Amino acid sequence: MNSANSIKFLYAAYIATWLIHALYLGSLVRRYGRLRQQMKDLRK
């Protein structure tokens, strides 16, 4: 198998893995911020 081609797929898989996790963690941060805001509004 072509080594350069092999490396390309390897990096694609590792980047995709961390991209999926980063997107999910980002969505959790956004959800947390929204809930904190709702909680603040309810406390007023």
Summarize as ranges the residues that interact with other proteins (CB under 8 A): 1, 3, 5-7, 9-10, 12-14, 16-17, 20-21, 24-25, 28, 31-32, 35-36, 38-39, 42-43
- Smallest separation, CB 30 to other proteins (Å): 11
In the complex, least distance from residue 5 CB atom to other proteins, rounded to whole angstroms: 6
Residue 24 φ/ψ, nearest 5 degrees: -65, -45
DSSP 6: H
Q: How far apart are CA 26 and CA 18, in angstroms?
A: 12
